[in-house]
Amino acid sequence: MKIIANPFEVKEYLKTVPMRIGFVPTMGALHEGHLSLIKKAKEENDFVVVSIFVNPTQFLQGEDLDSYPKKDAADKKICELAGVDLLFMPNAEGMYGVDEVTLQAPNVRGYVLEGTSRPGHFSGVLQVVMKLLNIVQPTKAYFGKKDAQQLHLITLMVQNFYMSVEIVPVDTVRESDGLAMSSRNVYLSQEEHQEALKISKSLKMATQLVMQKNFVSSEIKNAMRNTLAPLEISYVEILNRNFELLQEVEIGNTIVLVEALVGRTRLLDNLWL
């Protein structure tokens, strides 16, 4: 496995790779969720690139940029064992200049849900993903459905800017107890981990109601809020795949999204119906 830090060097190196390139952008501290993206990329491409970059522009003042879990040595091993061909590990100086052209997340869909508590977060995400996609120029790029709003906005960016890459959504990987895997789960104490299970339980509750043919969004959201209590809820929302509010669940076109605060850790999860 080749490891490169310099973006220009990556571009040069990939010129010698005339194959289908699959790309998995990450912030490191890799877990089974990341691995399922890598696995899918391996299956569908001839050459797999993973990037590890904790992107400063998507963190707001006071967020966990400086304490974000870092496991470079373990991550390199995991990538090697997973059969990654190129690991791109840039630093902030290599990725950003001063007074740059920037990207702006869309006014509505970039500033609702996670964008409400993290205004500007998605502009930073789009900025770095645009850079990464231009450096690697993959055939396909893999993103987790767990970060549904991020996935939606990246797909929108690729359409809006007529980019050639195919964005591939990948299902959420969970712990055996139901908690969606996340690099930030290491912040949770044992008690908080137990509390956090209310999030996936609330989604199970939504599934049960829909299976009983209750499609009314307000009723499903109420039942979810009851399951989540006493967690501090950032949002519980039922949207269509275009991120518009739904009064009633439409099977095949619905995402149920939840974000709650467990201790000081913001956790998100969702259900695609």
For ligand AMP, the binding residues (CB under 6 A) are 26-27, 33-34, 36-37, 143-144, 146-147, 170, 172-173, 180-183
Residue 33 or residue 90: which is nearer to ligand AMP going by CB?
33
Say if CB 61 and CB 18 are below 8 A apart. no
Token digits of residue 27: 């912030």
User: DSSP letter at 249?
Assistant: -
Q: How far is the CB of 135 from ligand AMP (least distance, A)?
A: 16
Q: Which is nearer to ligand AMP, 58 or 217 (CB)?
A: 58
Q: How far is the CB of 180 from ligand AMP (least distance, A)?
A: 5
- Whichever of 192 and 214 has its CB closer to ligand AMP, that residue is 192
Site of tokens 């691995």:
35
Cβ nearer to ligand AMP, comparing 33 with 138: 33
Catalytic entry in 31, 34, 121, 152: 34
Cα Rg of the chain, angstroms = 19
Give the C-alpha separation, 273 to 271, whole Å: 6
Coil, helix or strand at residue 122: helix
Residues whose CB is less than 8 angstroms from the CB of residue 7 and which lie 6 or more positions away in sequence, other chains included? 88, 90, 94, 95, 131, 135
CB-based contacts of 129: which residues, under 8 Å, 6+ apart?
Answer: 25, 154, 157
- The Cα–Cα gap between 112 and 122 comes to 10
Q: How far is the CB of 270 from ligand AMP (least distance, A)?
A: 11
Q: Nearest to residue 87, comparing CAs of 53, 54, 128, 49?
A: 49
Residue 80 has φ and ψ, to the nearest 5°, of: -60, -50
Beta strands 254-262; 232-240: pairing state: antiparallel
CB of 143 to ligand AMP, least distance (A): 4
d(CA 137, CA 142): 13
Query: Is-catalytic flag, 152?
Result: no
In angstroms, give the least distance from the CB of 171 to ligand AMP.
Answer: 7
Catalytic residues: 34
